[in-house]
């Protein structure tokens, strides 16, 4: 139950600004491995200006949510899969891999400590941000031998608000997000700094978000700045939910995986394949693409209404969330909030 001070700070929780009272911290060193894990009052981290992570970007993170449940408890959504991706990201950046059980324990301990910050409103949740950074105080250009793990929590509203209004996307042919053999499938800090220029280009062209094509041919649809993309085509035997197949230049979203699973259960046909942007827009022009949407932990399911590139502009849908996207979003939210059975054990209770 939120007290008055908590209620006041949470009045308008712009994404990532309302941080809670506690944090988890843990250290890794070559000699001692993972040690000194603790839940502590939220406080600035003393960061030496020569901290390696600041200079060379040896930094990975995660983003997941905990939800107030229909039965009054609190649960995190799929923390084990986030833990697994955190390990994969760390491995790619030659960082120590945090065992899944320690990751999940850290999430549970933090949510339990900040229980009174977990919002009960249907469009709000507690966003959790695990972070691992190279902590050596050294300018030597090599993987560090000490690392710091922290987990922060933030009260959040659905990223694009709860209006369900569609966003517009700009297709950049000037910048790339990820190259073959690069770090695109890892959730590492530098990917996001590198994408800011594309995002700014999108805004300059009157769009909300950037849609990335592959870096090698600038031909294949990949994903958004921090979200995966889906669309719905009118097939001969009904609607088909399509999303680009995973490669080493796509971030494997937990929401993406959850929606594919949920779609399967709802009897919606799915296809993961490589799709050329020109083929996609030709299908949009023929009226074969009935819906498009972005998905991610922060954004949940957000419709895409307009697609703009240097050589044209295309409209999808009728200004709201489409029927397939709406069904998927509702099914996902019902699962996350414990309103329907959870046969796969995706929810992990946090005290």
Contact footprint for ligand PLP (CB under 6 A):
63, 187, 223, 226-228, 251, 253-256, 296-297
Q: What torsion do the CA atoms of 225, 24, 16, 18 make, to the nearest 10 degrees?
A: 170
For residue 142, the minimal CB distance to ligand PLP (Å) is 26
In the complex with ligand PLP, the residue whose CB is nearer, 137 or 179, is 179
In the complex with ligand PLP, the residue whose CB is nearer, 22 or 187, is 187
Assigned token pair, 233:
């085509």
Distance of CA 60 to the CA centre of its chain: 13
For residue 227, the minimal CB distance to ligand PLP (Å) is 5
Residue pair 36/26 in contact by the 8 Å Cβ criterion: yes
Q: Which residue has the tokens 């703009």?
A: 308
In the complex with ligand PLP, the residue whose CB is nearer, 253 or 338, is 253
For residue 275, the minimal CB distance to ligand PLP (Å) is 17
For residue 203, the minimal CB distance to ligand PLP (Å) is 18
For residue 296, the minimal CB distance to ligand PLP (Å) is 4
From CA 85, how far away is CA 220, in angstroms rounded? 24
From CA 200, how far away is CA 195, in angstroms rounded? 9
For residue 57, the minimal CB distance to ligand PLP (Å) is 15
In the complex with ligand PLP, the residue whose CB is nearer, 22 or 256, is 256
In the complex with ligand PLP, the residue whose CB is nearer, 246 or 269, is 246
Residue pair 254/85 in contact by the 8 Å Cβ criterion: yes
In the complex with ligand PLP, the residue whose CB is nearer, 146 or 297, is 297
For residue 249, the minimal CB distance to ligand PLP (Å) is 10
In the complex with ligand PLP, the residue whose CB is nearer, 253 or 303, is 253
């Amino acid at each position: 139950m939120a007290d008055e001070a908590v209620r006041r700070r949470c009045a308008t929780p712009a994404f990532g600004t309302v941080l809670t009272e506690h944090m988890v911290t843990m250290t890794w060193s070559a000699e001692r491995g993972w040690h000194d894990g603790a839940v502590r009052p939220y406080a600035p981290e003393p960061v030496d200006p020569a901290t390696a992570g600041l200079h060379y970007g040896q930094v990975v993170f995660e983003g997941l949510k905990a939800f107030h449940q229909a039965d009054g408890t609190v649960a995190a959504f799929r923390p084990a899969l986030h833990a697994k991706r955190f390990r994969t990201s760390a491995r790619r950046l030659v960082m120590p891999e945090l065992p899944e059980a320690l990751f999940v324990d850290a999430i549970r301990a933090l949510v339990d400590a900040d229980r009174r910050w977990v919002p009960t409103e249907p469009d709000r949740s507690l966003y959790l941000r695990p972070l691992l950074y190279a902590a050596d105080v050294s300018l030597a250009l090599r993987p560090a031998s000490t690392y710091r793990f922290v987990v922060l929590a933030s009260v959040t509203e659905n990223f694009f608000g709860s209006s369900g209004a569609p966003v517009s996307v700009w297709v950049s042919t000037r910048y790339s997000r990820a190259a073959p053999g690069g770090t695109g499938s890892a959730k590492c800090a530098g990917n996001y700094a590198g994408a800011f220029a594309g995002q700014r280009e999108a805004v300059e062209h009157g769009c909300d978000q950037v849609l990335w094509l592959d870096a090698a041919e600038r031909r294949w649809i990949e994903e958004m700045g921090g979200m995966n993309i889906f669309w719905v085509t009118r097939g001969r035997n009904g609607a088909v939910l399509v999303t680009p197949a995973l490669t080493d230049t796509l971030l494997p979203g937990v929401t993406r995986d959850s929606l594919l699973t949920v779609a399967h259960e709802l009897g919606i046909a799915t296809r993961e394949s490589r799709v050329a942007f020109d083929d996609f827009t030709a299908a949009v022009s023929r009226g074969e693409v009935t819906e498009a949407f972005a998905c991610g932990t922060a954004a949940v399911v957000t419709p895409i209404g307009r697609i703009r590139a240097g050589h044209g502009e295309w409209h999808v849908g009728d200004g709201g969330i489409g029927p397939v996207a709406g069904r998927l979003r509702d099914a996902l939210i019902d699962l996350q909030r414990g309103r329907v059975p959870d046969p796969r054990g995706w929810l992990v209770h946090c005290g």
